[in-house]
Each structure stands twice: as C-alpha cells, then as structure tokens.
Amino acid sequence: MRIYATLVYIFLYLPIGIIALFSFSAGRSASQMQGFSLQWYGKALSNPFVVDALQTSASVAFVSAVLASVFGTMAALALTGMTGRIRVLFDAMVYVAIMIPGIVIGIATLIALVTLFDTVNPWLESLTGYRLSMGFASLTAAHVLFTMSLVIVIVRARIEALDRTLIEASGDLGAGPLATFWQVTLPLLAPAILAGFLLSFTFSFDDFIIAFFVAGSETTLPIYIFSSIRRGVTPEINAIGTMVMGASLLLLVMAQVLLRRSTKAERT
C-alpha cells in the first residue's frame, strides 16, 4: 500500500520535477542535462515577448481577481438568508458558470462580443473615431465571470460558518449596520475573501482556453507558452514553466494557509 502511494506521488511529481531540473541545464539541448546554469532564466526574463506576456497576464489576473473578489463578496453577502426566485436564479448562474466548459464560455463570449462590436462600431467610429475590439477588457471581463463564482462559493461557505452572536453583540453595543460591517463582519470574512482573490488570480493567470478566444491581439503568458511549444521543446520553456509553477504554488499555499487560519480562529 505504501509502495503504491509512493509510486503515485512519483507519477505526480516526476514530470514537473524533470522540467524544473532541465530548466537549470547549461546546454542548448532540451533533452540532455549538461551542467548547471541559470542562463535560461536570464534568457526568458530578457525576452521582450515573455516580459510583455507576463505583464499582460499579471495585470489581467490582478484586475479580474480584484473585481471578482469585490463583486463576489457583495453577492455572497446579499445571498445570505435570501430566499425566493432571485436566489434560485443566482444559485443557478453560479453553478452554470462553474459547470460550463471554459471552451464554451470562450466561444460564447467571442461571438457575442464580435456581433456587438460589429453592430456598434460603425456609428461609434463615425462619432468618436474609436473602435471597440477584443483585448484586455474582454479578457478581464470573461475571467471575472468565472472567478466571481469561485469567490461566491468560498465566501458564502465562510459566512454560513460565522458566529452570528458577534454581529448581534456589535449591534447591542450600539454600532450601526455599517460600523458592524467594517469592524466585525469584514475582518471575519477577510481570510476567505483573500483566499478567493488568490485562487481567482491563479485561475486567471493559468487560463489558456478562454484567453485563446477573447484575448484579441493581447498575448498572455499561457498563450505565449502554447505557441512556443508548437515550435518545439526548448530549455527556455522549461525555465518559464518552472517559474509559472513556482508562482502558482506560492499563491496556493498562501490561499490554503488563509483558509485554514480562518477556520481555526473560528474554533477557539
């Protein structure tokens, strides 16, 4: 049993481990380990296409995670204790946004936006000289849709686990609803919201398929990696891949710690 488990862990970590190992190879070949060097990291980080894609990915991920956390938390708060048709409708949409494959969300957003732009652009251009097109905004908006659902699920679970007496006590001590929110509710929810933010950031940063459809002329890091892989396996991709995995890992560990801490604080 233990041997079996060890084998599965090897299966899980060997491929990524080998990528990481080969990213330190000094040689030009992607299939032979020759000495140790950080040159491929240097090459990757001085490649203007990589830097550009990294900046795009990071800013899309940041903006969409901020919007998703704010809107998702607002919705989660509003949905608490809510019943009726609107509640059912919202639950359905949260569920659908998570269940529908990313590829269908990407396609749907693409054709809806292109159709909208084709209708709007002729008169918009004649009025302002400006044209709408796919890019940063459409990509961010599509990412917000998906990650907002994640935030709603996470924050709502946290709200349901909250100790209501704290909120009542705050009211009894004379705090208004707004003061209670800022001084009691929000601090209690903060770890869950932050965890939701980090997961959203990771999702958006790692997403390939939605970006593939709605990024327009923008290139995100996954899109860059995907198109480079088509040209062949190189040590530079190993280095980029290792950095991306490292970054995702760091964010996830942070999210995990935050979620754990928030449940522990509740118990004591």
Partner 1 sequence: MAMTRQKTRYLLLGPAGLWYAALLVLPLAVVLVYSFGERAAAGGYAPAFTLAQYANLGSRWAAFKNTFMLAPAGTLAALLIAYPLAYFLAVRVTARWRTVLLVLVIVPFWTSILIRSYAWIFLLGGRGIPQLLADLGLGDLRLINTPFAVLLGIVYGYLPLMVFPIYVSLEKLDKRLLEAASDLGAPPWRRFMQITLPLSLPGIATGSMLVLILLMGEYLIPQMLGGGKVFFVGNALVDLFLQSRNWAFGSAMAVTLVATMLVVVTLYMRFLRRIGAARDDVGLM
Residues 36-95 that bind partner 1 (CB under 8 A): 70-72, 74-75, 77-79, 82, 86, 90, 93
Closest separation between CB of residue 197 and partner 1, Å? 15
What is the footprint of partner 1 within residues 180-199 (CB under 8 A)?
199
Return the residue of 44, 65, 139, 142 that touches partner 1, per CB under 8 A.
Answer: 142
**CA pair distance 210, 197, nearest whole angstrom:** 19
Q: Is 25 exposed, middle or buried (0-12, 13-18, 19+ CB in 10 A)?
A: buried
Number of CB atoms found within 10 A of residue 37's CB: 14
Residues numbered 215-254 forming contacts with partner 1, rule: CB under 8 A: 222, 225-226, 229, 233, 237-238, 241, 244-245, 248-249, 252
Our CB check for partner 1 shows the closer of 2 and 267 to be 2
User: Which lies closer to partner 1 via its Cβ, residue 151 or residue 188?
Assistant: 151
Q: Which amino acid is at 41?
A: Y
From 153, 134, 108, 136, select the one nearest 52 (Cα to Cα): 136
Among 102, 130, 103, residue whose Cα is nearest residue 117 = 130
8 lines the binding site for partner 1 (CB under 8 A): yes
Cα distance between residue 146 and residue 139, in whole Å: 11
Question: Which parts of 152-171 interact with partner 1 (CB under 8 A)?
Answer: 152-154, 157
137 interacts with partner 1 by CB under 8 A: no
Cβ 140 to partner 1, closest distance in Å? 11
Spatial contact of 240 and 225, defined as CB atoms under 8 Å apart: yes
Q: How far apart are CA 74 and CA 66, in angstroms?
A: 12
Of 41-49, 97-105, 127-135, 161-169: span binding partner 1 (CB under 8 A): 97-105
- Terminal Cα distance for the chain, rounded: 37
By CB under 8 A, the residues from 107 to 136 that bind partner 1 are 107-115
For the CB of residue 252, give the shortest distance to partner 1 in the complex, in Å.
5
Which residue do the tokens 């970006």 mark?
A: 211
Q: Which CB sits closer to partner 1, 156 or 188?
A: 156
